Structure 1
Amino acid sequence: MENTQAFCSLDDTTDLRDELSEIRHRLHQNPELAYKEFQTSDLVAHNLESWGYKVTRGLGETGMVASLTAGTGTRAVAVRADMDALPIPEETGLPYASRNAGLMHACGHDGHTTMVLGAARHLARTRAFNGTVHLVFQPAEEIGADSGAMRMIADGLFERFPCEAIFGLHNHPGYPTGTFMFRSGPFMAASDTVNITIHGRGGHAARPHLAVDPVVIGAGLVTALQTVVARSIDPMQTAVVTVGAFNAGHAANVIPESARLQISVRSFDPDVRKLLETRIRALTEAHAGAYGARAEIEYVPGYPVVINSQAETELALQVARELVGDDRVVDNFGPIAGSEDFAYYLQKKPGCFLRLGNGEGAPMLHNASYDFNDDNLTVGAAYWTRLVERFLAQ
């Protein structure tokens, strides 16, 4: 029977706390948007090269892979971190708050990157694994389409850096710091965007009978779209249709020519995803046509469903239990309506995407007051280290 005590423990990475906090704060102070992660990439690459990794840059434009081999094993495993920030003005008031106006790490990618760097640091100094580890530092997760994962795969990620499995995680506000959450199978939703322009006929507000009012039509469509999930989707399935933007007109006394709606659509099942598109298109066209208007529909496919493979999820879950104990591990965590481009990796390789609690009562993701919890840095570093050691010891 394998001696699990031989692998990395929480105590093994506590000496890295100050170093990792400093790196994380530097990343937080200098947030960069998708495909503009130049300073971030430089900082990450500099550290990795100083620790003895072979660093290959330029995958997915600003992405990179850091590789390290130990022992004689022929197996390889990949761990991914995302690096990009969001166009949100920071309101934390922290001493290390963003220096880049209008930008901040409001989703914790600075923490994700730093945890993997922490694992890289410990793996390099101990080399207590047997095979090859590929650390994937990815740009442009937040972009929603044409993402960093897609571009890294297109640039030959898995051909140039072959591996048996890939793992990643995201922090999760609302759960205690250091708590790990897992789910095998569909875990995070597919996400599509629908842009609808209703073309009516503008006119004077005092003579509405001579116009075809796209504001009235759009308002009715917002209500009608609520029936797509309620009356077209099996209640045992999960789906979301949210109208996030409705823009029309500029003056009180003018009926505008057009109105524009932007809609976010989430689902977990391919057939449900197709049905949502069919119903949204049909409903929109019929609704606009009934008023004498025309609907222009742009349906933009986004990230697919994150589907975790069973064996890799079971291993990742077991590693967490060994590291932090059963009380800080949640098995069969509920599906999450948020989306992740990690899904593209899982279409190519088996693997697991998991969640890590960022603190109860902590600000939600994509919030101007959000901050990654530094208490997770050494926990995440120890987790990734132990997972690599365990995977390559199989």
Structure 2
Amino acid sequence: MSDIKELTEKYYPEIVELRRYFHKYPELSKKEFATQKKIIEVLEGLDLEIRKAAGTGVIAELKGEKPGKIIAIRADMDALAIEDECGKPYQSQNKGACHACGHDGHIAMLLGVIKVLSNLRHKIQGTVRFIFQPSEEEVADGSGAAAIIADDGLKDVDAIIGAHLWQPVKFGTVGISAGPMMAASDEFTIVIEGKAGHASMPHQTIDSILTASQIVVALNTIVGRDVDPMKQAVVSVGVFNSGRVYNSIAGRAELKGTIRSLDENVREKVFGHIKKIVEDVCDMAGAKCEIERDRCTYVLSNDPKVTSIVLEAGKEMVGHKAHAIEPFMSSEDFSYYLQKIPGCFIFVGVGNPEKGIIYPQHHPKYDIDERAMAYGVEVMSNAALKLLSS
């Protein structure tokens, strides 16, 4: 344990420097070419097997002195299509791209883990596979996790771990819990076809805006009235597009939204209720409708056995500050990996009001307490060694 802490401290300034570099030069999903290049540059000379994967990703392997299991550690790489307003010297220089979800820190932490474990090769019985995954944010047109899996990223892997720098979790805390921890995510699109006409003659039209509005209101009753109160679900409409002329009644409206759930049965029931509401409201209005659904991620459910080992590793590094936490309704394509092999996804707290770290993920002013990255490096490094020897 002491050697992990000492090595983490040794490399901490470099980890911070790398995180700020990636924050300054963010790249959107499937466009992480410069990020990929920088990662490979940092890894060169470390006696690793390195290859490009999933287009813009990187996979590196560190082989121990003795054969054994293969444990994977994953970090996501992509940024969000948001203008950065953090106001720091490392504010994004790439217009329209911002690391507002902590992926810059994830890359830096995993590079730190590689540096630490490269110094502890004599303790490694087996292989540690490091996965730098692209395209976590944009899963609707192809998950980066799915691409990594298709590129043999999980081949022969016994277990996988990953970490998320998380603003809702207090700085200094590492959340490690078994079972469902993040929600399944569905994207839905609803198109309402009515009948356009003059605003002064509504009786000759089928008002798509009115119909869509009734649907939005009705959808907000699903969680409160159709879902078991002991279960959790979210239905949110984020897009409402219709009309362009003030004195015309629009003949077409489009809604887009998301379903979040921690239970696959609830997930299916919620979509069933959405479909029924849309069809019934349109039927009453005389409108036609189309409903499309894109299953973006699965429920992220941590394996109990792997999680118990990771929690033990966490407590050895940060004591009681590593503990179980409640699940979140956010989603993550790390869940794709957990559909294939056992694993554990942990949450490293970065929320620190004393330092002004108060903005949530996906906010233009999102930032982290960088000291949290040291906790992430320590816990993941120790967890990897424990999982290899378990």
Alignment TM-score, normalising by the size of structure 1: 0.95
Q: Is the 8 A contact 2:163 2:376 kept in 1?
A: no
Cα offset, 1:18, TM superposition: 1.6
Query: What is the SS of the residue equivalent to 1:90?
Result: coil
The structure 2 residue matched to 1:330, chosen from 309, 316, 323, is 323
- 1:308, 1:352 within 8 Å by CA — same for their partners in 2? yes
Q: 1:368 maps to which residue? A: 364
**8 Å contact from structure 1 (residues 313, 351) kept in 2:** yes
Q: Give distance in 2, aligned partners of 1:174 and 1:10.
A: 25
Partner in structure 1 of residue 166 of structure 2 = 172
Q: What does the per-residue CA deviation read over 1:153-172, in whole Å, with 9 as the maximum and x for residues that have no partner?
A: 1122222xx22100001111
Q: Which residue of 2 aligns with 1:313?
A: 307
- Unpaired segments ≥5 residues, structure 1: none
The AA in structure 1 aligned to 2:275 is: R
Equivalent of residue 331 in structure 2, options 335, 339, 347: 339
For residue 44 of structure 1, the aligned residue among 39, 45, 48 is 39
Whether the aligned pair in 2 keeps the contact of 1:8 and 1:386 (CA below 8 Å) is no
Q: Distance in 1 between matches of 2:3 and 2:136?
A: 29
Partner of 2:221: 227
- The whole-number CA distance in structure 2 between the counterparts of 1:377 and 1:171 is 8
Q: Secondary structure at the match of 1:223?
A: helix
Task: Deviation per CA, 1:350-378: give whole Å up to 9, x if none.
Answer: 01011010123321000000123321222
Find the counterpart in structure 1 of residue 236 from structure 2. Answer: 242
Deviation at 1:135, TM superposition (A): 0.4
Q: Which range moves more in the overlay, 81-90 or 365-374?
A: 365-374
Distance in 2, matches of 1:379 and 1:224, equals 45
Task: Provide Cα deviations, 1:201-229, integer angstroms capped at 9, x if missing partner.
Answer: 01111111111101111111111111222
1:89-142 superposed Cα distances (whole Å, 9 cap, x missing partner) = 011111111110011100000100100100101111232322110001000000
SS at match of 2:239: strand
Residue 96 of structure 1 pairs with residue 90 of structure 2: yes
Residue 178 of structure 1: CA displacement? 2.8
Contact 1:184 1:309 in 2 (8 A): yes
Once residues 335 and 44 of structure 1 are traced to their aligned partners in structure 2, the CA distance between those partners, rounded to angstroms, is 31
Q: CA deviation at 1:175?
A: 2.7
Q: In structure 1, how many angstroms separate the alpha carbons of the residues matched to 2:93 and 2:5?
A: 33
Deviations 1:221-252 (CA, angstroms, capped at 9, x unpaired) = 11111122222111111111111111111122
- Other structure's SS at 1:356 match: strand
1:20 corresponds, among 12, 15, 36, to 15
Give the counterpart of 1:137 among 132, 138, 152. Answer: 132
Q: What is the one-letter code of the residue matched to 1:52?
A: D
Give unmatched runs, 5+ long, in structure 2: none
Say if 2:381 is the partner of 1:392.
no
Q: CA deviation at 1:8?
A: 4.3
Equivalent residue letter for 1:381? V
Post-superposition Cα deviations, 1:23-63, rounded to whole Å, max 9, x if no partner, equal: 11111111001111011011111111222211011x21111
Separation of aligned partners in 2, 1:125 and 1:344: 31
CA, structure 1 residues 8+311, in 2 after alignment: closer, same or farther (shift >3 Å)? Answer: farther
Q: Distance in 2 between matches of 1:248 and 1:122?
A: 54
8 Å CA contact retained: 1:24, 1:111: yes
CA contact (8 A) 1:174 1:360 kept: no
1:79 corresponds to which letter in structure 2?
I
The worse-fitting range, judged by mean Cα deviation, of 241-250 and 379-388 is 379-388
Confirm whether residue 348 of structure 1 aligns to residue 343 of structure 2.
no
1:97 match: secondary structure:
coil
Q: Distance in 1 between matches of 2:166 and 2:15?
A: 20
Q: Deviations over 1:264-316 (max 9, x none)?
A: 10111111111111111111011011011011111111101001100101111
Aligned to 2:67, the other structure's residue is in SS state coil
Distance in 1 between residues matched to 2:261 and 2:253, nearest whole Å: 26
SS at match of 2:351: coil
State the one-letter code of the partner of 1:137. Answer: F
Distance 1:158 1:261 in 2: 37
Q: Which position in structure 2 is the counterpart of 1:151?
A: 147
Q: Given residue 80 of structure 1, which amino acid in structure 2 is its aligned partner?
A: R
The answer for the alignment partner of 2:374 in structure 1 is: 378
Give the number of aligned pairs.
384
Q: Alpha-carbon deviations, 1:59-105, whole Å to 9, x = none?
A: 21111210011121311100000000000001111111111001110
User: Larger deviation: 28-37 or 119-128?
Assistant: 119-128
Letter in 1 for 2:327: P
Decide which moves more: 352-361 or 112-121: 352-361
Separation of aligned partners in 2, 1:297 and 1:156: 34
* TM superposition shift of 1:176: 2.6
CA distance in structure 2 between the aligned counterparts of 1:300 and 1:48, rounded to whole angstroms: 36
Q: Does 1:62 align with 2:62?
A: no
* 1:357 has 2:349 as partner: yes
Cα distance in 2 for partners of 1:335, 1:390 equals 25
Contact 1:37 1:62 in 2 (8 A): yes
Q: Is the 8 A contact 2:348 2:375 kept in 1?
A: no
Selected match of 2:255 from 252, 255, 261: 261
